[in-house]
Each structure stands twice: as structure tokens, then as C-alpha cells.
Amino acid sequence: MSRAEVSPRATSEASSAGAGRTTWTAAVTRWVDGLVPKGQWLPDRQPVYVASWIYVFGVACLSSLVVIIVSGLVLTLGGVTWWHTSSFGHFVNSVHLWSVELFFATMVIHMWGKFFMASWRGNRGMTWATGALAFFGSLGTAFTGYLIQTNFDSQWISTQAKDGLNAAGIGAYFNVMNLGQMVLWHVSLLPLVVGGIVTVHVVLVRRRGVAPPIDATDPTADAGEKVAT
Amino acid sequence: MITQLLAVSQPVPAGPVVQWGWLTITVANLVVILAMVVVFVLALVLPFPSDREDEDR
Amino acid sequence: MSRGTGGWGPTPDAHAFPTRRYDLVKEFVIALAVVSVLSVVAALVFSSPDEPAISLQQWARQAPSDVVATAAGELAGTTTSAGYGPPYNTASEGQSLGPVDLQSLPGVTQPVDPAKDLVLDPVRTLTSDAASSAAVRVWDAASADRQQAWASAYVDALAAAPDGDPAKVASGDYGPVPAIAAAELRLAESGSLEGLLTSRTSFFGVDSTKALLLLADGTHLEDAARAQNLGGDQWGIMNETGNYPGQPWLWLYSLWYQVPPFSTSDNADIAVWALMIVLSIGFVCIPWIPGLRTLPKHLGVHRLVWRTRR
């Protein structure tokens, strides 16, 4: 596949540099450009302190999400009850289940790591908060997945879970015993919500960079003088 | 009749559980949680491959 | 800089530190490969649980007296759904947390009249069955008090009968209730009850609410679940059928149901939900909670992460 030819004419890239532009398009371009510092969208270098296996669990979690989405999309091809009657469908369901277990395992290990590193330091509070929200969003998404298995598990889980949701007033609008409603929440609404939160989370991570070690001194400040904590 | 009833309604045997006082957990869940703890500890303890020559400044 | 530092003092800018080569794309591709292989291997080795749903027909065949007792209970108003309250009906107030009654706030959004929707309407479809048609006519003609007296007497009599067997019930004034309950059992046995419960809302049976409410009003579903360690007081929220991991990430939610005061409270659901919502908000807000936000410094685990540079 050949690469698209670059037009010799002026492009939006060139015009976005002109900060004086007042078009809405230019404003959006400036906003996107400013989301993360220049060169930090996908840098090929990281601060030297990023040297521990604990740093790989965020990416491992993201990878698990990819496997979840791909296996989930394959399941949607056959419909809600397909996997009960097709051995391939059952296999895809198994991949979906185990990628979810891996997703939560890696996400929780990622959270343990970030907690012990206090990675919310240096104005990274929203990074932690969006990560925590992604966790809770994932809980809800996984839960609706259990409800739409259309098997004994779904019967039991839905009839049990309704009581807590009803007591909180949520069940009045979110009926866990309504299969049709739960299918749509699980395959459309909730994945979009989780995907959106995860996107914001990743942008925030790239925006602020990886939190420096606790008690680290600013290497650009006067020779190794410790920053008071 | 109850035993007969349970026999037909239980095609899959329940997995084993462990119990300490008020804490009850299935072995399957316990294995998952212990595996997570082990992986977490290994991630902290095992050296991360790095090449000093890659460093700058 | 005037911005608060969350009890940590100034944290240096990450971009001020020396760097080393770190191939994020390679890391992602390797992680994706590892996770894909692990998922596929686990799927091949362990598969996934799929215990079939209990059909109402199976329920009728395996526990006929439970179906009869449940049908009688719906008529008498003694089942869970008959006495539920919002969002299904106004039979009770539901749960509340002190003066806060979130359950009643939205009102009845999914109306279910268990006697009518789960028993009488389905039985009414048996128009070619003279006995059940007559029984429903007698029921309809009776006063509410009379209906209640018949149904309650039959519920009590079933509970007193050996094995709850309808054939062994002591004689009494139960009116048309035994005939209606028996007709419900016949409908379930024939396999047509599910359709009558789900297609009532739509030709496309995508709303399983009524069929599930009826099934859950019996004891058969719960017996099967408890045999799989899925009961609420068995930490069942975390568990899965067979020998599989379930949702271990729900451990904290599950825990509260095992300990007082929740394990003995009539308002356990709302109390646990309220507690979990508060704890969840706290978890999201850790970076802003004094004491918690600086706790990791004292725990010292970070020294294992940043071993060479401090």
C-alpha cells in the first residue's frame, strides 16, 4: 500500500499554527493539539524511573479490553442465544469470559500499583478518578453480561440483583429482568461509556506523563537539593 | 422428594469452597485472587529489563 | 504555584527527567499477544460454564407442588412479588434508609399484578378447559375478602400437607383456588406458560420480567442456586455455577451481606447500596482525602518500584 501523497498546498496543519485564526475548526484543532504536550501522544522515550513491571499492567488491561471487544463482537454476530447451540459460539464465549477475568485482574493490579505509588501526585487527581470510574463502569458492564447469558446464572443473578437496585430506586428504570433492555445496555451503551472514560483516562496519562517517584527531586533544579515534602 | 428434586436440578456439581468462620469463598475465586497477589508481588520484585545505554542526559 | 499539592509538596514535572527508550507500541503489541494467547488457552482448557435456564416446564415436572404453592401464593398475596411494592405494585413500601425512601420515589414503573398477570390471565386462556374456565368465573364473581380467604386457606393447607403435595391437602373451603392452581401447573407442564407471560407485553418475547418474577416466587430456583453456593448469605454474588471463578471483584459488596447489622436487617439491600455508594465515591476521591492521599508514603511499597532512584 502506498502512502497518500502530501499536497504541496497549505494544509490545516500549516494554518493551525496561525493562532490568530478564529474559525471553529481552528479552535478545535488548537484544543486537540493542546490536550497533551507536543510529542507526548505516543513518545518513544519515558522518564528513567519508568523501570518496573508494575508499569505494564495499564497496557495489559487495555489489551484485555481489546480481546473483550473483539470476542464480544463475534458473539453479537450469532445473537444472544447462539452460544448455547454452537461449539464455536461457546468457545468465543469462553474467550470473552477469560479475557474479562484477565481485564479485571490486570486492572486491579494496575490500581494496587498506582495506589502504592500515590500516582495522583502532581495534579494527577483526575487521572486516578477517571481510572476509578472506569473500574466501576466495568463492574456494571460485566454485571449486565452475566444477565444476558440466557442461562440459569442469568435467572438467578437477575432475580437476586433486582432487590438492591429496586431499593436504591434504580430498578425502576434499569430492569435487570428485562432481557431486551439488558442486551442493549451490555453491547452498546455501557461499552461506549467505559470506552469514553478509558479514552479520557489515557489522554490524562499522556498529558501529565508518568508520576515521578515519591520524594523525587526536580532534576532541573539546583544540584540534587531535595524538594521538601 | 427433596433429594430427588436436587438430584435432577443439579446437572453440574458445585465447585469446592473453603470456609474460615464467616468467610466463605469458592476455590476458583480464591485461586484467581491469589494469582493476582502473586503476579503483583512478582511485578514489584522482578527486575525490569533495561539497557543503561538507552539513557540520555 | 498556588495550586494545592495534595499534602505532598511540589511534584517535579515528569518531562523534566532524563529519559530512556521505551517502545510503547511494542509493549502494547506484546501485551495484546500475551493476553490473547492466555484467553484462548484458558478458553480451550477450562471452557466456560453454561448451566441451562430452568424452564417453567422443567419447574412443573421437577417440583410440581412448588408451582401449585406459588400459584396459590400469588392469589393469596403471600409471594415475594405479590407483596413487593415499587417498582412493580403498591403492595408495600419497600425498603428505606431512615426517612429516605428511594424505592418509592419513582413510583410503579413496571406494573405487575401477580395474581392477575402471573396466574389468572394465563389460566383464562384455557378456554377449552371447562373446569378451569368455571373456576376463574367463580373467582371473578367472589368478593375480594372471599378470594383472600380461599387463597390463604389453601396456602396454609398446602404448607401443612406432607411434602406440600396438593393431592394430600386436608379438605377445606378453598373455593376455586385448587382448580386455578392446578390449571397453572398444567399450563407450565405443557410448556406454554412462558409464552403467555412474556408475549403479553410484546409478540417478541424480549422482556422476561414476569416469567422471572413467577419463577423466583417459588423455592425451586433458590434451591438450585443454593446447591451451587450462589445464595446471598453464601457470598453467592461473587460465585459462578460449577467450578469457575465468578465476579471476585464484587467481594466488598458481597461481604456486607455476611455481617451484622446487614445480615439481619430487613433493609439490608438499601443499607449495603448506600454504604457501597459512599465507599465508591471515597475511592474515586482518594487524591483529595487528607490522610488517605498521603498514606502510600507511609506504607513504603513504592520503594520496591523505584529501587535505583529515590
Of B24, B32, B57, the CB nearest to C235: B24
Q: How far is A154 from chain B (nearest CA, A)?
A: 16
Q: What is the pLDDT of residue B13?
A: 81
Read off the C-alpha cell for A146: 452475566
B8: confidence class by pLDDT, cuts 50, 70, 90: very low
* Mean pLDDT (whole number) for C109-132: 94
Q: Rounded to an integer, what is the distance from CA B20 to the centroid of its chain?
A: 17
Pairing of strands B23-26, B17-20: antiparallel
Cis, bond preceding C87 (omega within 30 deg of 0): yes
Which subunits have 3 or more CB–CB pairs within 8 Å of chain A? Answer: B, C
Pair (C80, C183) in one structural domain: yes
- With b for 16 or more beta-carbon neighbours within 10 A and e for fewer, the C125-156 pattern comes to ebeebeebbebbebbeeeeeeebebbbbbbbb
Quote the ipTM score.
0.92
pLDDT for A191? 97
Q: How much of chain A is in helix, strand and coil states, percent to nearest 5? A: 65, 0, 35
B46 secondary structure, DSSP code:
S
Residues C189 and C301 both lie in one domain: no
Give the per-residue pLDDT at B1.
39
Taking the CA atoms of B47, B50, B56 and C1 in sequence, report the sign of the dihedral they define: negative
pLDDT at B7 over 50: no
Nearest to C138 by CA among C147, C148, C129, C151: C147
The residue among B48, B52, B56 with the most chain A CBs within 10 A of its CB, best to mutate, is B48
- CA C229-C232-C238 angle, to 5 degrees, is 65
Residue A166 to residue C86, Cβ atoms within 8 A? yes
Put simply, whether A178 touches C (Cβ < 8 Å) is yes
Mean pLDDT of chain C: 92
Q: Is the pLDDT of residue C186 over 80?
A: yes
* Nearest neighbour of A54 by CB, restricted to B36, B44, B57: B44
Cα separation, C187 vs C180, whole angstroms: 11
C287 → closest Cβ in A108, A128, A220 = A128
Nearest neighbour of C258 by CB, restricted to B5, B22, B51? B22
pLDDT tens, residue by residue, A98-108: 999 999 999 99
B36 interface with A at CB cutoff 8 Å: yes
In degrees rounded to 5, what are phi and psi of residue A45?
-135, 150
- Same-domain status, C91 and C115: yes
Distance from CA of A10 to the nearest CA of C (A): 31
pLDDT for residue A20:
64
The sign of the CA dihedral B13, B14, B16, B21 is: negative
Average pLDDT for chain B: 78
Return the SS3 of A221.
Answer: coil
Same domain, C65 and C173: yes
Q: Give tens-digit pLDDT for A133-179.
A: 999 999 999 999 999 999 999 999 999 999 999 999 999 999 999 99
* Domain boundary pick from C179, C210, C227: C227
What does the pLDDT read at residue A41?
86
Chain B stretch 1-57, residues whose beta carbon is closer than 8 A to a beta carbon of chain C? 1, 5-6, 8-17, 22-29, 31-33, 44-45, 50-51, 54-57
User: Over 60: is that where the pLDDT of C294 sits?
Assistant: yes
Q: What pLDDT, on a 0 to 100 scale, did the predictor assign at position A224?
A: 45
State whether C170 and C243 are in the same domain.
no
For residue C146, the enclosing domain spans: 56-227
Say if C161 falls within a structural domain: yes
Q: What is the pLDDT of residues A54-97, one digit of tens each?
A: 999 999 999 999 999 999 999 999 999 999 999 999 999 999 99
pLDDT-derived band at B4, boundaries 50, 70, 90? very low
C8 lies in some domain: no
**Grid cell locating A149:** 447469558
Q: Judging by beta carbons within 10 Å of its beta carbon (0-12, 13-18, 19+), is residue C37 exposed, middle or buried? A: exposed
The answer, yes or no, to whether residue C2 has pLDDT greater than 50, is no
| In contact, C253 and C262? CB cutoff 8 Å | no
Mean pLDDT of C251-255: 91
Give me the residue label for grid cell 484477565: A102
Q: What is the mean pLDDT of residues B20-45?
A: 93
A102 CB neighbours in chain C (<8 A) are 35, 38-39
Return the residue of C nearest to A166 by Cα.
C103
Percent of chain C with pLDDT over 90: 77
Q: In chain A, where are the structural domains located? A: 51-117, 122-209
With cut-offs at 50, 70 and 90, classify the pLDDT of residue C31.
very high
User: Are C158 and C185 a contacting pair, CB within 8 Å?
Assistant: no
A residues 9..28 contacting C (CB < 8 A): none
User: Over chain A, what is the mean pLDDT?
Assistant: 89
Contact criterion met (CB < 8 Å) for B43 and A51: no
Give the model's confidence band at C190: pLDDT under 50 very low, under 70 low, under 90 confident, else very high.
very high
Do A51 and B32 lie within an 8 Å CB cutoff? no
Q: Using one digit for the tens of pLDDT, what is the confidence trace for A190-208?
A: 999 999 999 999 999 999 8
C272 shares a domain with C202: no
Q: Is the pLDDT of residue C310 over 70?
A: no
From C1, C3, C276, select the one nearest A125 (Cα to Cα): C3
Find the angle CA(A71)-CA(A77)-CA(A81) to the nearest 5 degrees: 90
User: Cβ of A105 and B36 within 8 Å?
Assistant: yes
Residue C201 confidence class, pLDDT cut points 50, 70, 90: low
Asked whether the predicted pLDDT for residue A214 surpasses 80, the reply is yes
Q: Are A120 and C309 spatial neighbours (Cβ–Cβ below 8 Å)?
A: no
Show which of C205, C227, C249 is a domain's final residue: C227
Length of chain C: 310
Q: Name every chain C residue with its beta carbon within 8 A of the beta carbon of B55.
A: 18-20
Residue B52: the pLDDT is 64
- Are C272 and A164 contacting, i.e. CB atoms less than 8 angstroms apart? yes
Q: What is the DSSP letter of C202?
A: -
Q: State yes or no: pLDDT of C161 exceeds 60.
A: yes
Confidence of residue A112 (pLDDT cuts 50, 70, 90): very high
Whether C94 maps to a domain, the answer reads yes
What single letter denotes the amino acid at residue C293?
R
pLDDT tier, A226 (very low <50, low <70, confident <90, very high otherwise): very low
Beta strands of chain A (E only): which ranges?
Answer: 45-47
Residue C115 DSSP label: I
pLDDT at B11 over 70: no
Give the pLDDT band (50/70/90) at residue B51: low
Instruction: Round to whole Å and give the CA distance between C112 and C29.
Output: 52
Nearest-Å Rg of the Cα atoms of chain C is 28
Cα separation, C222 vs C225, whole angstroms: 5
Q: How far apart are CA A199 and CA C166, in angstroms?
A: 60
SS3 content of chain C, % helix, strand, coil (to 5): 55, 0, 40
Number of domains in chain C: 2
Sorting pLDDT into bands at 50, 70 and 90, what band is A16?
very low
How many beta carbons lie within 10 A of that of residue A176, not counting itself? 27
Give me the mean pLDDT over the C209-227 stretch: 95
Backbone φ and ψ for A155, nearest 5 degrees, come out as -60, -45
Taking one residue from A and the other from B, the number of pairs with CB-CB distance under 8 angstroms is: 32
Q: Do C176 and C273 belong to one domain? A: no
